Amino acid sequence: MDDIVIVFKERPSLREPILIEGLPGVGNVGKLAAEHLVDQLKAVKFAEVFSKFFPPQVLVNDAGTIRLVSNELFYVKREDYPNDLIILVGDYQGLTPDGQYELADRTLRMAKEMGVRRIYTLGGYGLGRMIEKPRVLGAATDLELVEEMKTHGVTFSKGEPGSGIVGASGLLLGLGNLYDMRSACLMGETSGYFVDPKGAQAVLEVLARILNVKIDFKELESKAEQIDMITSKLRETEPPPEPKREDLGYIG
Amino acid sequence: MDDIVIVFKERPSLREPILIEGLPGVGNVGKLAAEHLVDQLKAVKFAEVFSKFFPPQVLVNDAGTIRLVSNELFYVKREDYPNDLIILVGDYQGLTPDGQYELADRTLRMAKEMGVRRIYTLGGYGLGRMIEKPRVLGAATDLELVEEMKTHGVTFSKGEPGSGIVGASGLLLGLGNLYDMRSACLMGETSGYFVDPKGAQAVLEVLARILNVKIDFKELESKAEQIDMITSKLRETEPPPEPKREDLGYIG
Amino acid sequence: MDDIVIVFKERPSLREPILIEGLPGVGNVGKLAAEHLVDQLKAVKFAEVFSKFFPPQVLVNDAGTIRLVSNELFYVKREDYPNDLIILVGDYQGLTPDGQYELADRTLRMAKEMGVRRIYTLGGYGLGRMIEKPRVLGAATDLELVEEMKTHGVTFSKGEPGSGIVGASGLLLGLGNLYDMRSACLMGETSGYFVDPKGAQAVLEVLARILNVKIDFKELESKAEQIDMITSKLRETEPPPEPKREDLGYIG
Amino acid sequence: MDDIVIVFKERPSLREPILIEGLPGVGNVGKLAAEHLVDQLKAVKFAEVFSKFFPPQVLVNDAGTIRLVSNELFYVKREDYPNDLIILVGDYQGLTPDGQYELADRTLRMAKEMGVRRIYTLGGYGLGRMIEKPRVLGAATDLELVEEMKTHGVTFSKGEPGSGIVGASGLLLGLGNLYDMRSACLMGETSGYFVDPKGAQAVLEVLARILNVKIDFKELESKAEQIDMITSKLRETEPPPEPKREDLGYIG
Q: Give residue A122's identity as a one-letter amino acid code.
A: L
Picking from B146, B158, B177, the nearest residue to A68 by CB comes out as B177
Q: Do D66 and A175 touch (CB under 8 A)?
A: no
> Do A181 and A117 touch, CB atoms closer than 8 A?
yes
CB contact under 8 A, C56 and D138: no
Q: What is the mean pLDDT of residues C145-160?
A: 94
pLDDT digits (tens, 9 = 90+) for C184-202: 999 999 998 889 999 999 9
Q: pLDDT of C68-109, one tens digit each?
A: 999 999 999 999 899 999 999 999 999 999 999 999 999 999
Residue D64 burial (10 A CB sphere; 0-12, 13-18, 19+): buried
In DSSP terms, D44 is beta-bridged to: D75
H or E stretch covering B123: strand B118-126
Residue D61's pLDDT is what?
94
Phi, psi of A89 (to 5 degrees): -125, 175
Closest listed residue to residue C74, CA positions, set C25, C36, C30? C36
Task: With CB atoms and an 8 Å threshold, state whether D101 touches C59.
Answer: no
Q: Does C194 touch chain D (CB under 8 A)?
A: no
Strand A44-51, strand A71-76: pairing: antiparallel
For residue D239, whether the previous peptide bond is cis, meaning omega lies within 30 degrees of 0, is: no
pLDDT-based confidence at D248, cuts 50/70/90? very low
Residue-wise pLDDT for C9-54, tens only, equals 999 999 999 999 999 999 999 999 999 999 999 999 999 999 999 9
pLDDT (average), residues D134-160: 96
**Quick one: which of B145, B101, B114, B124 has its CA closest to B46?**
B114
CB contact under 8 A, A69 and B175: no
One DSSP character per residue, D173-198 reads HHHHGGGT-EEEEEEEEE-SSS--HH
DSSP string, A54-120: S-SEEEE-TTSBEEE--EEEEEE--TTSS--EEEEEES---SSHHHHHHHHHHHHHHHHHTT--EEE
CB contact under 8 A, A64 and B173: no
Backbone angles phi, psi at B20, to 5 degrees: -120, 125
B165:A66 CB<8 A: yes
Is the minimum CB–CB distance between D119 and chain C shorter than 8 Å? no
Shortest CA gap A31–chain B (Å): 18
A7-21, D183-197, D222-236: range with lowest mean pLDDT: D222-236
Question: Mean pLDDT throughout D190-194?
Answer: 91
In this prediction, residue D150 carries a pLDDT of 97
Q: What is the mean pLDDT of chain C?
A: 92
Mutating which of B8, B58, B61, B95 best tests the C interface, going by the most C Cβ atoms within 10 A?
B58
Mean pLDDT of the region C151-163: 91
CA atoms within 13 A on the CB side of B44: 13
User: Cβ–Cβ of A178/D7 closer than 8 Å?
Assistant: yes
Q: Is the pLDDT at C8 greater than 50, yes or no?
A: yes
Q: What pLDDT was estimated at residue D187? A: 97
pLDDT tens-digit profile, chain A (252 residues): 999 999 999 999 999 999 999 999 999 999 999 999 999 999 999 999 999 999 999 999 999 999 999 999 999 999 989 999 999 999 999 999 999 999 999 999 999 999 999 999 999 999 999 888 999 999 999 999 999 999 999 999 998 888 899 999 999 999 999 999 999 999 999 998 889 999 999 999 999 999 999 999 999 999 999 988 888 887 776 655 554 444 333 332
Candidate from B3, B7, B58 with C-beta closest to C164: B58
Return the bridge partners of A136, or none: A188
Query: Which of D146, D166, D178 minimises the CB distance to C57?
Result: D166
* pLDDT of the residue at C206: 98
How many Å apart are CA C234 and CA C231, to the nearest integer?
Answer: 5
Interface test with B, best of A60, A65, A68, A95 (most B CBs within 10 A): A60
Give pLDDT, residue B238: 61
Supply the pLDDT for residue D238: 61
**Touch C-A: 3+ C-beta pairs under 8 A:** no
Q: The whole model's pTM is what?
A: 0.91
Which chains reach chain D with 3 or more Cβ–Cβ distances below 8 angstroms? A, C
Using the beta-carbon criterion (under 8 Å), do A54 and B174 form an inter-chain contact? no
Give the burial class of A148: count Cβ atoms within 10 A of its Cβ; 0-12 exposed, 13-18 middle, 19 or more buried.
middle
Question: Residue B167's closest chain A neighbor by CA?
Answer: A56
User: In a 3-state reduction of DSSP, which class is residue A35?
Assistant: helix
pLDDT value of residue B239:
56
Q: Is A171 on the interface with D (CB under 8 A)?
A: yes
Residues of chain B with C-beta less than 8 angstroms from the C-beta of C167:
56
DSSP C6-38: EEES-----SSPEEEE--S-GGGHHHHHHHHHH
Closest CA to C62 of D157, A27, D246: D157
pLDDT score of D119: 98
pLDDT at position C252, please? 30
Q: Residue C115's pLDDT is what?
A: 97
Contacts of A102 in chain B (CB under 8 A): none
CB pairs under 8 A between B and C: 84
Whether chain B has a CB inside 8 Å of the CB on A69: the answer is yes
Chains that touch A (3 or more CB pairs under 8 A): B, D
Model pLDDT, residue C140: 97
Per-residue pLDDT of C227-250, as tens digits, reads 888 888 877 766 555 544 443 332
Please list every residue in chain B whose beta carbon sits closer than 8 Å to the beta carbon of residue A69.
164, 174
What is the C-alpha to C-alpha distance for residues C190 and C28, in angstroms, rounded to an integer? Answer: 9
B6 touches chain C (CB under 8 A): no
Residue in C92, C125, C175 to test binding to B, most B beta-carbons within 10 Å: C175
CA pair distance C41, C180, nearest whole angstrom: 28
Is B64 in Cβ contact with C139 (below 8 Å)? yes
Per CB-CB distance under 8 Å, the chain B contacts of C149 are: 64
> Nearest-CA neighbor of D110 among D30, D43, D176, D51?
D176
> What percent of chain A is predicted at pLDDT more than 90?
83
Q: What's the gap in Å between the CA of A48 and the closest CA on chain B?
A: 11
Q: How far is CA D102 from CA A111, D3, D21, D69, D96, in A?
A: 29, 8, 16, 17, 10
Burial C54-87 (b: 16+ CB within 10 A, else e): bbbbbbbeeebbbbbbbbbbbbbebeeeebbbbb
For residues C31 and C19, what is the distance between their CA atoms, to the nearest angstrom? 14
Low-confidence ranges of chain B (pLDDT < 50): 243-252
- Whether chain A has a CB inside 8 Å of the CB on B180: the answer is no
Pairing relation of β-strands D182-190 and D136-140?
A: antiparallel
Q: What is the pLDDT of residues D53-112, one digit of tens each?
A: 999 999 999 999 999 999 999 999 999 899 999 999 999 999 999 999 999 999 999 999
Tell me the three state secondary structure of residue B252.
coil
Among A109, A157, A175, the strongest candidate for a mutation testing the D interface, having the largest count of D CBs within 10 A, is A175
Q: From C147, which residue of chain B is nearest by alpha-carbon distance?
A: B64
Which DSSP string do the residues of B68-104 spell out, in sequence order? E--EEEEEE--TTSS--EEEEEES---SSHHHHHHHH
Chains C and B touch (3+ CB pairs under 8 A): yes
Model confidence band, residue D160 (pLDDT cutoffs 50, 70, 90): confident
- C interface test, pick of D3, D51, D101, D121 with most C CB neighbours within 10 Å: D101
Q: Name the helix (H) or strand (E) containing B22.
A: none
Shortest CB distance from D65 goes to which of A102, A146, A161?
A146
Q: Do C161 and B67 touch (CB under 8 A)?
A: no
Listed in sequence order, the residues at least 6 apart from C56 whose beta carbon sits closer than 8 Å to its beta carbon are: D94, D97, D100, D101, D104, D166, D167, D168, D170, D171
Q: Is pLDDT at D148 greater than 70 in this prediction?
A: yes
Chains C and D touch (3+ CB pairs under 8 A): yes
Supply the pLDDT for residue A252: 29
